[in-house]
Chains A and B, each alone.
Chain A
């Protein structure tokens, strides 16, 4: 492998690698704004200056490819002066409203200003201001904070496939915006906020909710479809505040869709059933775990019983259900359900040119690999027990008695005779197999809501009740 030198350190590189990446491997972080590894290189922000031996001018590390024997200096006086100059230029018109900015604490402009700027302000000119447009339900725009890095324009053009963010006018008057107050159309708008290096494009959903530095971060995967995008759940005080994509070059690169990003909302929605319920004469009523477990156990002792299991459940949950079913009684039929139009992995495929898959549950392939068969037609049995992670779409059920175990809201479980509340993806560990066969781990970010219990524990309760009944 060819080698070059960064601040005196020898580093190997692959042909075509730029100096930002190569320096990182040498342990040197080069400050950037416009550069993003997932987008085209434009070398516009002029923050990533480095000195390259034999080149008279400062070079931008993002657009300079490493070459054999190249000697790169990232800490020379010329580099420092260049970066300081850029920081000064960028702050000429920035409002410095960090105290009320949602980006504060995770802002590249703040960090690079701290690391490379000057404490001394030399300008006294009036700042440039803009009137902001409404860009729809996902993104809050604040053009005054914009540093014109054009990441958003390139994201729209190159990743989301829609040229809706543009630079209008030119020079010092450029406005980076949608036109005529048009709202963003892409279903990937949240990424605009992630890649914005300052607080110009922030998430409306997160606005004024939490200071970024208060958030705890849990690395997990999205359960929103069979893509299995890697993401981070950011939470505090047992409340999830937002989800952001996590880099995985083989799956989602740096991105995720809005559906996946905001999917967590149902897990803390007030309509989620978080206590056991039993249906009486006046509808569903809160009941004790013991009573609901006992009712279910009695119903599945005899007759025609069907376990409907969601392909939104983890491998561990699915295996446990299968084992428990045979332990409970022979002859319990198990069928999977996810979304009606994609019941097998062979029917799955891309739903767009970006990330979304047709299967709207996260473990269709995992369920299939465990040998579970999909439900065809409607769910018909004397007794049906539905196990669900939270996203699988309930099929039509024709039964005398139905129980739900897992995550449901009140409306979804309205027809059920009994409900035992289970854990949502934010609350549990487990494995999902994405459409390409990658096994990925869900991680527990928050404690279960209300009285919700893991599927394994609920199954143990059922088995214990059965053995007690047998002894009696």
Chain B
């Protein structure tokens, strides 16, 4: 099945020489979409095409991208900004990195078209600080595009100007949250903002702003070139157009970034066909299907079509399409402690349940793992998670609560074994 897939990106990955403008023009129909746009499409027509494409945001929230763009007010005198979220921070995710490394020009063309659609003349790519080399590659590609006249003043003789600035983060998961990202772009602590106002009304520098994930923007040239409907048709499930880049990690034979038509495979097929099955012939115990915050699935829950709605139906989420495969040897208590420690470390600290609660959950889990907990601590842990989930200013609280709630629901005996002294931390 995977062999016949129509893919948009993956065939261009893994070769350093593919990142040039020359390669892009020759092998990826480079800048044809932009030419089509500047040959006479209006911004509204571009947005309509993106709406028709049924593309959901690829960052994690899965919000329809065309709709996001249509929220940018047309009659505002303020500058408008397109900000590309290249923070790629949800553990398990590393697909945007490949786009920036191997096909940076498709992202740049996407930024050009997107900026034109929302009336932006200065786009920012907010890239996580650790991606030092990726930022350099992207800057080099931007310079290349600019030298060729695809950026700068009067692009394609249309009178339209665009600059792109790469802005590096400096180590903070929360800057993947769009308003935390905007604060960070403005030179502040990356603390998420109270919403409303939403970025479409007051975003970067208090101006109307669209924040889109790298993969989302990189799909825009494909959408315009193929036409929204054809792009939507790549998806094999309602409401999800195009293809999905998947980051497959953990205990599989062949971890890696893969691409599939949206909704065309089940989680089991992905693990078996892309991943080559479990590593060293071990048995599957669990799967974290959408980045470390998504509720965990047990081995018998993976015959589910891997897309937004089927996953939601079974109580988990697709998130950033980062699948982490966990084998039978894994200590779920230790793993949950590791996940919880991450969210406690990354809590920005501004709101109470997340600042205090994540750390408390980490402490309780630490006690459970080290045989210092009382039986009541398991229920306490679940209750604390409930006091965090849905109660915080941004989604980090939910991200921290969901793993705790799902691990305790599905793997409770492992936690009880520690509390009862039947198991000891090695």
A/B contact in complex, CB under 8 angstroms = yes
- The reply on B348 being an interface residue by CB < 8 A is yes
**Cα(A171)–Cα(B347), bound, Å:** 5
B391 at the interface (CB under 8 A from A): yes
Do B387 and A171 have beta carbons less than 8 Å apart? no
Please determine whether B348 and A171 come into contact, CB atoms closer than 8 angstroms: yes
Given A43-B194, A89-B356, check contact A49 B351 (CB 8 Å): no
Contact-residue size bin, chain A (C-beta under 8 Å from the other chain):
20 to 34
Q: How far is the CA of A63 from the CA of B394 in the complex (A)?
A: 13
Q: How distant is B362 from chain A, measured CB to nearest CB, in Å?
A: 9
With most chain B CB atoms within 10 A of its CB, the pick from A58, A82, A123, A147 is A123
Asked if A409 is at the interface (CB within 8 A of a chain B CB), the reply is: no
Which chain B residues in 172-201 approach chain A with CB under 8 Å? Answer: 172, 189, 194
- Contact, CB under 8 Å: A82 / B345: no
Instruction: Give complex CA distance A173, B348 in Å.
Output: 10
| A89 partner, pick from B172, B344, B346, B360, beta carbons under 8 A | B360
Which B residues are in CB contact (< 8 Å) with A167? 189, 349-350
Is there contact, CB below 8 Å, between A172 and B393?
A: no
Nearest B-chain residue to A90, judged by Cβ = B352
In the complex, what residues of A have CB within 8 A of residue B351's CB?
43-46
In whole angstroms, how far apart are the Cα atoms of A169 and B359 in the complex? Answer: 15
Q: Is the CB of A92 within 8 A of B392?
A: no
Query: Which residues of B (355-395) have their CB < 8 Å from a CB of A?
Result: 355-360, 363, 380, 386-387, 390-393
Smallest beta-carbon distance A247→chain B, Å: 24
Report the nearest A residue to B348, measured CB to CB.
Answer: A170
* Residues in chain B near residue A90, CB distance under 8 A: 352, 356
A49 CA to B351 CA in the complex, in Å?
Answer: 13
Q: Is the CB of A170 within 8 A of B387?
A: no
Chain A residues near B392: list those with CB within 8 A.
46
Query: How far is the CB of B182 from the nearest CB of chain A, in Å?
Result: 15
* B106 CB, min distance to chain A CBs, angstroms: 35
A15 interface contact, C-beta 8 A: no
- Closest residue to B386 on the A side, CB-wise? A85
Question: Judging by beta carbons under 8 Å apart, are B380 and A89 in contact?
Answer: no
Q: In the docked arrangement, what's the CA distance between A125 and B355, Å?
A: 15
Q: How far is the CA of A63 from the CA of B390 in the complex (A)?
A: 16
How far, in angstroms, from A134 to B345 measured CA to CA in the complex? 28
Complex contact B189–A46 (CB within 8 A): no
Residue of A nearest to B374 (CB): A124
Are A171 and B391 also in contact (CB < 8 A) when A43-B194, A148-B350 are?
Answer: no
Q: A144-178 toward B: CB 8 Å interface, digit per residue (1/0)?
A: 00011010000000000000000101111110000
Q: Could you tell me the distance in whole angstroms from the C-beta of B82 to the nearest C-beta in chain A?
A: 27
Determine whether A122 belongs to the interface, using a CB cutoff of 8 Å to chain B.
yes
Complex alpha-carbon distance, A140 and B153, angstroms:
57
With the chains together, A341 CA to B344 CA distance in Å? 58
Answer yes or no: A351 CB below 8 A from chain B CBs.
no
Cross-chain contact A93 with B356 (CB below 8 angstroms): yes
Query: B352, B357, B359 — which one has the most chain A CB atoms within 10 A of its CB?
Result: B352
Bound Cα distance A45, B172 (Å)? 21
* A residues near B387, Cβ cutoff 8 Å: 81-82, 85-86, 88-89
User: Which residues on B sit within 8 Å (CB–CB) of A86?
Assistant: 352-353, 387, 391
Q: Which listed residue (B346, B360, B386, B391) contacts A46, Cβ 8 A?
A: B391
Q: How large is the interface on B (under 10, 10 to 19, 20 to 34, 35 or more residues)?
A: 20 to 34
A47 cross-chain contacts in B, Cβ below 8 A: 352
Residues of A within 8 A of B393 (CB): 43-44, 46
A42 part of interface (Cβ distance < 8 Å):
yes
* One of A45, A122, A172 near B349 (C-beta < 8 A): A172
- Bound: A173/B352 CA distance, A: 13
Judge if A265 is at the interface, Cβ distance under 8 Å. no
B391 touches A82 (CB 8 A): yes
Task: Indicate if A41 sits at the interface (CB-CB under 8 A).
Answer: yes
B397, chain A: closest CB distance, angstroms: 9
In whole Å, how far is B351's beta carbon from the nearest beta carbon of chain A? Answer: 5
Residues of B within 8 A of A125 (CB): 360, 363
B360 touches A123 (CB 8 A): yes
Complex: how many Å from CA A174 to CA B390? 23
Most-contacted residue by chain B among A49, A85, A174 (CB, 10 A):
A85
Is there contact, CB below 8 Å, between B352 and A46? yes
Interchain CA distance A82-B351 in the complex, whole Å: 13
In the complex, A47→B387 CA distance in Å? 12
What distance in Å separates the Cβ of B365 from its nearest Cβ neighbour in chain A? 12
Min Cβ gap A388→B in Å is: 50
Instruction: Report Cα–Cα, A340/B172, bound state, in Å.
Output: 56
CA distance A235 to B390 in the complex (A): 46
Q: Which of A205-260 contact B (CB under 8 A)?
A: none
User: Which A residue sits closest to B356, measured CB to CB?
Assistant: A89
**Alpha-carbon separation in the docked complex, A205 to B172 (Å):** 41
CA distance A86 to B352 in the complex (A): 7
Contact A41 B194 (CB under 8 A): yes
A9 within 8 A of B: no
Q: Which residues of B contact A122 (CB under 8 A)?
A: 380
A148 to B357, CA, bound (A): 14
A44 adjacent to B344 (CB under 8 Å)? no
Q: How far is the CA of A55 from the CA of B392 in the complex (A)?
A: 15
Contact with A along B76-107 (1 / 0, CB 8 A): 00000000000000000000000000000000
Q: How far is the CA of A90 from the CA of B391 in the complex (A)?
A: 14
A148 to B356, CA, bound (A): 10
CA distance A122 to B392 in the complex (A): 21
A32 to B345, CA, bound (A): 27
CB distance from A95 to the nearest CB of B (A): 15
Q: Does A57 contact B (CB under 8 A)?
A: yes
Produce 1/0 per residue, A74-85, CB < 8 A to B: 000000011001
Kindly state the separation between the CA atoms of A150 and B349 in the bound complex, as whole angstroms: 11
Query: Shortest Cβ distance from B36 into chain A, in angstroms?
Result: 42
Q: Given that A43-B393, A57-B390, A89-B387 are contacting pairs, would A174 and B353 also be in contact in the complex, using a CB cutoff of 8 Å?
A: no
**Complexed CA–CA distance, A85 and B172 (Å):** 27
Instruction: Specify which chain A residues have a CB less than 8 angstroms from the CB of B345 in the assembled complex.
Output: 171
**A44–B353 Cα gap in the complex (Å)?**
9
Q: How far is the CB of B226 from chain A (nearest CB, A)?
A: 37
- B390 engages A46 (CB within 8 Å): no
| Complex Cα gap A41–B195 (Å) | 11
Please name the residue on chain B nearest to A62 by beta carbon: B194
CB-CB under 8 A from B352, the residues of chain A are 44-47, 86, 89-90, 147-148
List chain B residues, Cβ under 8 A from A88: 387
Q: Which of B232-287 contact A (CB under 8 A)?
A: none
Please tell me if the beta carbons of A171 and B344 are within 8 angstroms of each other in the complex: yes
Question: Chain A, 343-384, contact with B by CB distance < 8 Å: what is the 0/1 string?
Answer: 000000000000000000000000000000000000000000
Docked-complex contact B347 and A172, CB < 8 angstroms: yes
A174 to B355, CA, bound (A): 9
- Docked Cα-Cα span, A148 to B354, in Å, equals 12
Those of A2-51 within 8 Å (CB) of chain B: 41-47, 49
The complex places the Cα of A62 from the Cα of B172 at a distance, in Å, of 27
Closest to A91 in B: B356
Contacts of B358 in A (CB 8 A): 171-172
With a cutoff of 8 Å between Cβ atoms, the chain B residues found around residue A44 in the complex are 350-352, 393
**Residue among A46, A92, A171 with the highest chain B CB neighbour number at 10 A:** A171
| Beta-carbon contact of B390 and A58 below 8 Å | yes
A150 to chain B, nearest CB (A): 7
**Bound Cα distance from A238 to B340, whole angstroms:** 57
Shortest B46–chain A CB gap in Å is: 33
Q: Are A170 and B391 in contact (CB under 8 A)?
A: no
Closest partner residue, chain B, to A170 (CB atom): B349
Which chain A residues lie closer than 8 Å to B391 at the CB level?
Answer: 46, 49, 57-58, 82, 85-86
10 new A-B contacts, CB < 8 A, other than A46-B392, A172-B356, are: A44-B350, A44-B351, A47-B352, A85-B353, A89-B352, A90-B356, A92-B360, A148-B352, A170-B189, A171-B344
Closest 7 CB pairs of A and B: A85-B387, A89-B356, A172-B359, A171-B347, A174-B349, A171-B349, A43-B194
Give the A-binding residues of B (Cβ under 8 A).
172, 189, 194, 344-353, 355-360, 363, 380, 386-387, 390-393
A-B contact pairs, 7 of them (CB 8 A): A41-B194, A47-B352, A82-B391, A148-B352, A167-B349, A171-B344, A174-B349
